[in-house]
Amino acid sequence: MLIAGNWKMFKGPREAHAFFDGFDAPADVDVVFCPPFVSLAAAVESGRTIYAQNVHWEPTGAYTGEVSPTMLLELGVTGTLVGHSERRQIFGDTDEMVARRTRAALEAGLAVIACVGETLEQRESGDTELVLTIQVEAIAFAAGEHESLVIAYEPVWAIGTGKTTTPELAEEAHGFIKGLLDRPVLYGGSVKPENAAELLSQPSIDGALVGGASLEPDSFAAICRAASTS
């Protein structure tokens, strides 16, 4: 069971140190943290498994504001998120860009959590499976069933809204994704201590990508404990 905490644009280095001083989780759960770029070095010092929130596909070059896989590895970072819905919606990441980021990171030796998911409009129009197929197949074409690749299913309408898909719908989506690409699939979308156990007990859900609830040591530890007993 893998539990990943995405801190988004929260917690500078000082807050990162304070978080790790107060965090404790069961030893039988794989836990990774995805802090903002400025806090990666501080997070690495904790001895925890640290992923970046994004990565570029080139090792060097004139790409102002970007960070390469080799730079992350030199820092001690061992993996990265790619294709988070906020990257897709706010910053214009396309399926092709997500695939290129995925392939470059894996080839460099980073683990990857690649995010996929539909908007509310797409779900209500009955296009969930079409959207997932396009997104997952782009990643599959670029990376195949790479042993360091994990998929995260995040229904966009359930991210940061307090809304959560039912465990049954999440299980259905996870099963569909695994039919396209045989890799572990995490659930992401307003995962909280109150709903974690029910979500993580579903047979096709292999862990969680946690946003807001990963910002407090106690709430994130509670989700990790739920994973330990699922």
pLDDT digits (tens, 9 = 90+) for 35-89: 999 999 999 999 999 999 999 999 999 999 999 999 999 999 999 999 999 999 9
Catalytic residue from among 56, 154, 171, 174: 154
Note if 124 is an active site residue.
no
* pLDDT digit string, tens, across residues 107-134: 999 999 999 999 888 888 989 999 999 9
Catalytic residue from among 84, 86, 146, 171: 84
Pinpoint the alpha helices (H) of the chain. Answer: 13-21, 40-44, 69-75, 85-91, 95-108, 120-124, 128-143, 167-180, 193-200, 217-229
Q: Is residue 189 scored above 90 in pLDDT?
A: no
For the chain, domains (ranges, CATH) are: 2-229 (3.20.20.70)
pLDDT at 91: 96
pLDDT at 162: 65
Residue 184: pLDDT band (50, 70, 90) is very high
How many whole angstroms separate alpha carbon 188 and alpha carbon 5?
A: 10
The alpha carbon of 152 is separated from its chain's Cα centroid by a whole number of angstroms, namely: 6
pTM of the model: 0.95
Q: Is residue 161 scored above 70 in pLDDT?
A: no
**What residues contact 100, with CB distance under 8 A and at least 6 apart?**
57, 142
pLDDT at 160: 65
The residue-averaged pLDDT of 136-148 equals 97
How many whole angstroms separate alpha carbon 86 and alpha carbon 203?
A: 28
Q: Is residue 207 scored above 80 in pLDDT?
A: yes
Note if 171 is an active site residue.
no
